[in-house]
Amino acid sequence: VQVFMLSDILGCDEAVCKGTVNVGVKPAFCYIHEGKMYTGTFYKADTDYNSDKYIMKTLNGDENTAIMTVHDVDPAKKESFGIDETTNIAYSIPSQVQGICITKDNKIVLSTSWGISKSKLYVYDFDKVNNDATSQIDFFGGKTTLYYIDSESLVDTITAPPMAEEMVYLNGKIYIMNESASAKYIFGKFTSGNYVHAYKFD
């Protein structure tokens, strides 16, 4: 994970990376919530993002394809920018996840997208995820507790604009950022991709 100073990003034409943190996976998204940083991989079959390293059956029989690790964050610590590089919690997650957020009633929302197809936001009961039986997976040479995010805890599915990625939950709304507004996908600038979309979530 690359680390930048927010003040540099807001005040400069170009921000310089201050350093990196090794989270044990190649992350497609990053989210910080209540002193924890969640980072996860992206999977899509028949593309360059098709490593079979984390393909596994969940407890209810679903097939998950990617992994999300959890790291403690303590701004008072100087080493690794206050981010603990080791983890003792991981989550098995579905394909094509590009971002997550956690709501005030402890729902975890995964944004999934690919190309110009409509995105899907999958809403799960995070309490149920964390209370279900677990297994273990090897990380950093040690055993890590593994939870499964699957259809067993799914409570809602929301359709969103194409290329929905990182999300933030704040004051009853999920704010969605879109890859389609990047220079690579110029069409997004003409199809409202350059806006942050807010979805009311009560």
Sheet holding 89-93, edge to edge: 29-33, 36-40, 66-72, 89-93, 142-148, 135-139
**In terms of DSSP bridges, do strands 63-64 and 56-57 run parallel, antiparallel, or are they unpaired?**
antiparallel
pLDDT of residue 21: 94
Q: Please, are residues 38 and 65 in contact by the beta-carbon 8 Å criterion?
A: no
- Name every residue whose Cβ is closer than 8 Å to that of residue 27 and which is 6 or more positions away in sequence: 1, 39, 40, 41
Q: Please, are residues 84 and 71 in contact by the beta-carbon 8 Å criterion?
A: yes
pLDDT 10s per residue in the chain (202 long)? 999 999 999 987 789 999 999 998 999 999 999 999 999 999 999 999 988 999 999 989 999 999 999 999 998 998 999 999 999 899 999 999 999 999 999 999 999 999 888 999 999 999 999 998 788 888 877 889 999 999 999 999 999 988 999 999 999 999 999 887 777 777 777 777 788 889 999 7
Instruction: Dig out the tokens for 73 from the structure.
Output: 């964050």
pTM attached to this predicted model: 0.92
Q: Please, are residues 108 and 94 in contact by the beta-carbon 8 Å criterion?
A: no
